[in-house]
Structure formats: C-alpha cells, structure tokens
Amino acid sequence: MDKSPDAFRTISEAAEELDLPQHVLRFWETRFSTIKPLKRGGGRRYYRPDDVMLLKGIRHLLYDQGFTIKGVQRILKDQGPRYVIAVGEGKPVEELLPMIEQAQAVGDEAELEEARLTASAGLDTEARDKLSDVLKELLDCKRILERARET
C-alpha cells in the first residue's frame, strides 16, 4: 500500500524515493540548515512532504546540474528553499524567479489586507494610514528575518 503524498516519510522511504543512500541524507542535514526532518524518540527521522521536495531539488542541483555543495548553499541563501523545490520539480529557470517574487508579494498583500480589515473597525483614516505604514515596515522586517533564517 502506497503512502499518501502528504504523509511523512521515514529516512529509508525518503532515500528510496530519491534513489540515494540514507547516509547521504544525514550528511546533507549537516550541510543544509533548511533540511530539518522531524526527529522522534531514538532519533528516528520523519521527512515532511516539503522536506522531500527540497531534497529532490538539492539532488537535482548537485547531481544533474553539477553544482557543488557550496553552490547549492549559496542558491538556498540567495533564492530560498521554494526556488530549490521548483528546480527539483523540473520547472524552467525562466519561470522560477517571477513565480517566487509573485508568491512573496501575494503573501504580503494578503497579510496587509487582513490586517487592514481587522484594524479598520473604529479607526479614523489617519490612524489607519499610520497602522498600514507600520505593518508594511513589519512585513519588511519579517522578510529580512526569514532570509536570515535560511542562511
């Protein structure tokens, strides 16, 4: 019986799906801080679906594209894990950058709109504008922190 695509994978299942030895996945955890499987009692690893997709992207960059580990680390730092996941899914590079920028912008706009609706009850226009400016600054700070965490 096959697992659901949303199910967590053990290290042996992830290794089989990626056609890699288990020790390679353990090694990559030491080199790529974005790979963080869930660890249960006894150190047993469980990979989330996003972890497996990220591993596919890293595998593609290392083995198929010929990047070094430092090169992939740099890509993860500069472009983020979503980019590496998209590369692993075989999307052409021309499609990737606009997709990532759009996803970030849509996420920020959705957060802004939700905050505007919540804050608008009982506030005058000037107070709403000030809150909107503060929220934009906070979202910029959030984006900077997320990028810093990816390194």
Q: What is the dihedral of CA 12, 19, 4, 81, to 10 degrees?
A: 100
Task: Return the SS3 of 34.
Answer: coil
Mean residue pLDDT across the chain: 79
Q: What is the pTM of this model?
A: 0.60
> Is there a contact between 98 and 86 (Cβ–Cβ < 8 Å)?
no
pLDDT at 104 over 60: no
Please tell me the chain's helix, strand, coil percentages from 3-state DSSP, rounded to the nearest 5. 75, 5, 25
pLDDT at 17 over 80: yes
pLDDT higher at 33 or 122: 33
